[in-house]
């Protein structure tokens, strides 16, 4: 019974670890035949193969864990960067549309009989930003400028001549206004610290248009 006990001990070690199975110089297995007609040396080969399969699976799972540990931070950083870049593009589009809305209001010169001033244009832009769902910190902190780029001298759009060009600049500056827009650390991932858009427009102020009512003969 001693050879059989020795065989069982080696078999248990062979199923537990690949290194044990492949360790050279171990005690020899008996080669006599046993039940079923198979030799113990043939059974040893089968046990070694099973031991290699089991240990190889464990080794592969360990390699996958190491690969995930290296790649996961890079993937998360890439995902957050794409997410934040998309957010900035979306807010920039909203800011551009808001500036255009303010420019259209300025181009008319009057709104429902009310003169259009720089303050009216600024309120129009902020109302659009608030309706688009931007945070109050970004809306209240937005900087809106209306610049006369024509040769005529005027400040408020109501005094502009038809065809006079002007520029509306809308900016969400660095600090609390811009930080309220971020999902993550945008300035760390994209190096963007503020958003600014510029819209060029021309006045269509009919109040300043002189029309000769005299019917020509």
**107 and 151, same domain (yes or no):** yes
Tens digit of pLDDT for each residue in 137-166?
999 999 999 999 999 999 999 999 999 999
Q: Are 142 and 177 in contact (CB under 8 A)?
A: yes
Q: What is the span of the domain harbouring residue 54? A: 2-63
* DSSP states of 134-158: --HHHHHH-EEEEEE-SSS--SSGG
DSSP 203: -
**56 and 112, same domain (yes or no):** no
Q: What is the pLDDT of residue 98?
A: 97
**115 and 192, same domain (yes or no):** yes
Tens digit of pLDDT for each residue in 80-139?
778 888 888 999 999 999 999 999 999 999 998 899 999 999 999 999 999 999 999 999
Does residue 123 fall inside a structural domain? yes
**58 and 103, same domain (yes or no):** no
In degrees and rounded to multiples of 5, residue 150 shows phi and psi of -95, 175
Q: Are 8 and 43 in contact (CB under 8 A)?
A: no
**23 and 120, same domain (yes or no):** no
**53 and 92, same domain (yes or no):** no
């Amino acid at each position: 019974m001693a050879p059989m006990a020795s065989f069982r001990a080696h078999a248990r070690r062979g199923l537990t670890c690949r290194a044990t199975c492949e360790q050279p110089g171990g005690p020899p297995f008996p080669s006599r035949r046993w039940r079923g007609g198979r030799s113990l040396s043939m059974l040893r080969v089968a046990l070694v193969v099973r031991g290699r399969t089991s240990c190889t699976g464990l080794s592969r799972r360990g390699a996958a864990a190491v690969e995930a540990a290296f790649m996961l931070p890079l993937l998360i950083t890439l995902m957050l960067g794409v997410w934040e870049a998309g957010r900035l593009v979306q807010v920039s589009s909203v800011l551009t549309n808001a500036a255009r809305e303010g420019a259209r209001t300025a181009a008319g010169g009057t709104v429902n009989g009310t003169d259009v001033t720089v303050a009216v244009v600024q309120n129009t832009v902020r109302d659009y930003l608030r309706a688009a769902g931007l945070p109050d910190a970004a809306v209240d902190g937005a900087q809106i400028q209306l610049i006369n780029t024509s040769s005529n001298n005027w400040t408020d759009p109501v005094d502009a001549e038809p065809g006079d060009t002007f520029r509306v600049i809308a900016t969400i500056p660095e600090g609390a206004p811009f930080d309220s827009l971020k999902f993550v650390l945008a300035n760390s991932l994209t190096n963007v610290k503020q958003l600014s858009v510029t819209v060029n427009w021309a006045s269509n102020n009919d109040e300043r248009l002189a029309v000769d009512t005299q019917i020509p003969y």
